[in-house]
Structure 1
């Protein structure tokens, strides 16, 4: 019988666990302390819990952490970590250092249902949701774990399509009994899954990033099928219902494709769409992926687009392209690994 992982359980879940085992209630907080602050790798290291109770825990549970399988390092310092899930699937996490920040981009699903034209993860198809423990395992199992300053949920998968486990992971990251991070250090992205996005806004204080990529409905339907279900105007209307306050940030992610969404007219339509929202726009250079007609916009085109937005008072940045030499775009490394394993099975 496979043991159940303790890592990834919320305090409430740990309280239910110790009650079921007949332990004193205070052991739940002790467990949380060892899991998320001491970051132990085995139950027997929890030396303020009696040996008798540790033995009982060991019968049914383990910590549940998993080391990375492979890591690639870019000339620019970016690292791409590859992890096995317990079901032998692959997920990726990207470590992105800069002068002021050490950011980790984590995955929330194996594969993705959303089918965006420009995304390699979508080409894998959906395979499974990650548990809160599997999401957070990416954070604690990399070599730079203790150096991290920021976390972004912008890796493989659509976070709002796995909202229960994503919210659990965010609770553990930000709770006093967990990692005790400020929610301002965490940014969660979505392409616009409206009901789950509402839950996220109401149940978490972390930053929100909307993957937009074009302000035009028909064009967005071609790039992102979610537009057929939840039009971008609906997403904007929902955002306007909430007061995000001074500290919590909304940003719009805008990958720029040559001759597709990078004209001055697109910039003007984007201004109209997000007018009235306190937000910023991140313009992103497209990482090429196999079997797509899309190409990245030139830097001068991106600068011109940025100029149009800034003239209308919209804070706009051009995000540096990182890690192109190590398959840093989401899904490329895991797809390559899956293809290699399939080849090996054929012989």
Structure 2
């Protein structure tokens, strides 16, 4: 970022309107800028040709456009791509593009590193290094080659979205507003470990789908896997979710990484059915692919299938998520950790 200049990309229409007023430019200029930022394929302020020369001079003096190119791309044999982006503060984040049949899902990061310290997550082992701006979040969608064919966006990359909620909500506003990317919020899913104040605010202020990282229904086990369980117990998270009607188009799902000998038993099935009973939801089972420095290991395929079938037989809609991009460090945090280590 050029010294003392801020990025235009990532500003909401309200923020652009405030800038235009500050610079004493015509009110309609804000909508014109938004159109150039989010609806047209330009990458510089000078290309905003329907703005007055004065307006462009003021913007160039005080702002950059704000797009950031990926510095590395890994391509998997299954078509998954992993993009490594630098941040404004000389760090690294990861973005995954996952093709499946006629869908292209982009998995975006919301933080550099993470504070939450989950036992199974490579990003958590980096520690927390910084928040991403709304522009850096949306840039992960705007500045990849597949941007025109994206069908779905999931906030499931590096970081905890509800720990950076202001910028996450701004990014969703840009993606879904008619002056922005004009996507349906039903094509966006935000995943969280369940920070309750953020959860309540998200449900009130955003129409995107919700995914909760669950991983075990038992307090002691979840506390070992996810220290956040101490501050925000799963039972309280579920209690908040029960206050909302997910019977319409908006969905809630629960992410469940299956660890061998830890959370794949009949007693886990029984407790999951009790805990989630009455909530219209889906449980997504995820295979665990070992990462350095953790004692956890994967369950076997037979146990995984039996676990899925047992949940479905009890009336809890359950699927197994396909593993993608295993040959390109597709698990969150692996590629950026490698980049950080290389730079050190």
- TM (normalized to structure 2)? 0.98
State which drifts further: 1-10 or 15-24.
Answer: 1-10
Q: Specify the alignment match of 1:75 in structure 2.
A: 77
Deviation at 1:245, TM superposition (A): 4.1
After superposing on structure 2, the runs of 4+ consecutive aligned residues of structure 1 that deviate more than 6 Å are: none
Deviation at 1:298, TM superposition (A): 1.5
Q: Specify the alignment match of 2:314 in structure 1.
A: 312
Mapping 1:273-288, distance limit 5 Å: 273-288=275-290
SS, match of residue 127 in structure 1 = strand
Q: Deviations over 1:103-137 (max 9, x none)?
A: 00000000000000000000000010100000001
SS, match of residue 200 in structure 1 = helix
Q: Specify the alignment match of 1:322 in structure 2.
A: 324
Q: Deviations over 1:17-64 (max 9, x none)?
A: 000000000111111111111142001111111122111111001111
* 8 Å contact kept, 1:251–1:282: yes
* 8 Å contact kept, 2:247–2:280: no
Matched, 1:33 2:20: no
Q: Specify the alignment match of 1:132 in structure 2.
A: 134
Q: Deviations over 1:290-341 (max 9, x none)?
A: 1111111122111111111111222111001111111100000000111111
* 8 Å contact kept, 1:84–1:91: yes
Deviation at 1:143, TM superposition (A): 1.3
Q: Specify the alignment match of 2:59 in structure 1.
A: 57
Paired with 2:44 and 2:250, the residues of 1 have a C-alpha distance of 37
Unaligned runs of 5+ in 2: none
Match of 1:150 among 149, 152, 167: 152
* 8 Å contact kept, 1:213–1:220: yes
Mapping 1:1-347, distance limit 5 Å: 1-342=3-344
- TM (normalized to structure 1)? 0.97
Paired with 1:237 and 1:324, the residues of 2 have a C-alpha distance of 36
Paired with 2:49 and 2:126, the residues of 1 have a C-alpha distance of 44
SS, match of residue 201 in structure 2 = helix
* 8 Å contact kept, 2:185–2:207: yes
Paired with 1:339 and 1:264, the residues of 2 have a C-alpha distance of 41
Paired with 1:262 and 1:59, the residues of 2 have a C-alpha distance of 59
Count of paired positions: 342
Paired with 1:178 and 1:150, the residues of 2 have a C-alpha distance of 16
Unaligned runs of 5+ in 1: 343-347
Paired with 1:8 and 1:39, the residues of 2 have a C-alpha distance of 15
* 8 Å contact kept, 1:268–1:308: no
Paired with 2:102 and 2:303, the residues of 1 have a C-alpha distance of 27
SS, match of residue 83 in structure 1 = strand
Paired with 1:154 and 1:189, the residues of 2 have a C-alpha distance of 6
Paired with 1:336 and 1:262, the residues of 2 have a C-alpha distance of 31
